[in-house]
Structure 1
């Protein structure tokens, strides 16, 4: 029995008549009769007996019915899965973010996305900028979220959000009571900021220099979280991304914006010409909606 014959047999078993089966399948009555007759001829045995205008299954038909019902149950399952995939409610998504992003608003966005789609599975990695680019290029990661600059011939980028480096400090620091910090006020202050090779360090140095501030950089770190921990323990002000504090407040620490602003752009990073799943498209839409809310921008 081919799939069409199985389909007609299943419909006749459900409806009990050729007319009913034709209605279920959306075809004409003669076409159902033709397929059924051809099927019985091929099998060299009757599947139905015609009594009083109805089709009564033979014992052989009853014997094969459970297996055929199982086939159509699987087909229904495939149909539901395809609809869910198209709707972005199931599937697996592979994401990576720079450390402060992955542990901050990207984690928060993944959680809210999953709350609406319990059938989705997500792999989320926190990586250095170079690792992130490598994973996107090799297509181990479908979407990366990192800070500019990103220059690589095999990736394409879109700006997700613009934000600024902030002063993170203990809530009992002398400057903690201000709504914003003028860069000139950092003159003579003990500062923790990024290593000299970090992309954002150039932005920090340039802003301090333009303001005529000779920085007293007491500690250099590779991760914003480390700078926040140092600030918490009294090592002065950390000039870092405040992403983590926006979504995971740490009691005793505050973040204050700088003026003038040290702007940084967060980028969506994808392999050039890579196909984009319906699930990914829906996640990016969700991310674009959630990030401004989480960052208060």
Structure 2
């Protein structure tokens, strides 16, 4: 089988008729019909039933189409990549980030980066830290930002930073009157926790255990921003990454320092065994600048 036969098959499936498929391909209807006939001979089963002049895909054709369509998705990505290189050059960066940084610090870094490289294209995907690590290790992203619980084997990495947690408190809550929150303040209080594997949660749990206190768990969620949203609704209080608090204070959520410090630590991850291009080093510099010049909590 050849590409033209596969393209004719896919075009007929998508468009529903041979005539429309011929228009999409820029060929004649007989050429499309001939390609379909040749492809059926190659695969060894009927692709369409001819019913009153119409081509109805057989069950075998529908199963075959799933793989055909997946291959065309790959071709579409290659076309898009070629278009980006043609229009902007090869200076593109693919970034994967955990949610705590991907919705706040990384966008600021992208703005700083594009001030110096206005023709570069940055692809940003927000996902879990474990997914960040896997995609970077597989070479699908150039750089990743992940929490410290992630497995660092198989990737190049460096510490990005540690950020002291703050307590997110609903407006009107008794704890909002305090200037600093400690573990004893959480005893018996409705508490919104991060995921059980989150290192910051584990650090807080150790502090509470040593203090002999036990917050009343009401909700679990993997993202600090979601903790803030839940606290804003009055569900409870939570210990969150300060980089996830943007905009919540203006909506009425109260933030207070938590002592002793509970750090949210993160790492920069890189594709293994690859030399860092100048443009990637420039993006890392933008990330560090965004980290060091982040806006105040409130």
Q: TM-score range by the shorter chain?
A: 0.5 to 0.7
Q: What's the RMSD between the two structures over aligned residues? A: 2.4
CA distance in 2, matches of 1:93, 1:248: 30
TM-score of the superposed pair, with normalisation by structure 2: 0.65
Q: 2:155–2:270: 8 Å Cα contact kept in structure 1?
A: yes
SS at the partner of 1:181? coil
Equivalent residue, structure 2, for 1:219: 219
Contact conserved, 1:191 with 1:218, CA < 8 A, in 2?
yes
Q: Matched residue pairs, number?
A: 211
For residues 258 and 248 of structure 2, the distance between their equivalents in structure 1, rounded to whole angstroms, comes to 21
Which structure features the higher share of strand residues?
1
- Where do 1:170-249 residues align within 5 Å? 170-246=170-246
Give me the whole-angstrom Cα distance separating, in 1, the residues matched to 2:250 and 2:273. Answer: 40
1:238 counterpart SS class = strand
Instruction: Answer whether contact 1:191 1:217 (CA < 8 A) is retained.
Output: yes
Shift of 1:295: 5.7
Q: Distance in 1 between matches of 2:267 and 2:255?
A: 22
Change (3 A) 1:244 1:152: closer
- 1:127 matched to 2:136: no
Distance 2:102 2:204 in 1: 22
Distance 2:113 2:123 in 1: 13
| Unaligned runs of at least 5 residues, structure 2 | 1-84
1:26 is matched with: none
Q: 2:98 is matched with which residue? A: 98
Deviates more, 1:240-249 or 1:190-199: 240-249
Compared CA separation, residues 248 and 189, structure 1 to 2 (3 A): closer
Q: Would the alpha carbon gap of residues 107 and 274 (structure 1) be closer, same or farther in structure 2, given more than 3 Å must change?
A: same
Aligned ranges 1:51-200 → 2 under 5 Å: 91-200=91-200
Query: 1:187 deviation in Å?
Result: 1.2
* Secondary structure at the counterpart of residue 140 of structure 1: coil
Provide the secondary structure at the position in 2 that maps to 1:213.
coil
Matched with 1:280 is 280
Structure 1 264/156 Cα, relative in aligned 2: closer, same or farther at 3 Å? same
Q: Say whether the 8 Å CA contact 2:129–2:145 is kept in structure 1.
A: no
Larger Rg: 1
Post-superposition Cα deviations, 1:23-58, rounded to whole Å, max 9, x if no partner, equal: xxxxxxxxxxxxxxxxxxxxxxxxxxxxxxxxxxxx
* Cα shift at 1:198: 3.4
**Cα distance change of structure 1 residues 249 and 122 upon mapping to structure 2, 3 Å threshold:** farther
TM-score with structure 1 setting the length: 0.65
State the 1:204 CA deviation. Answer: 2.2
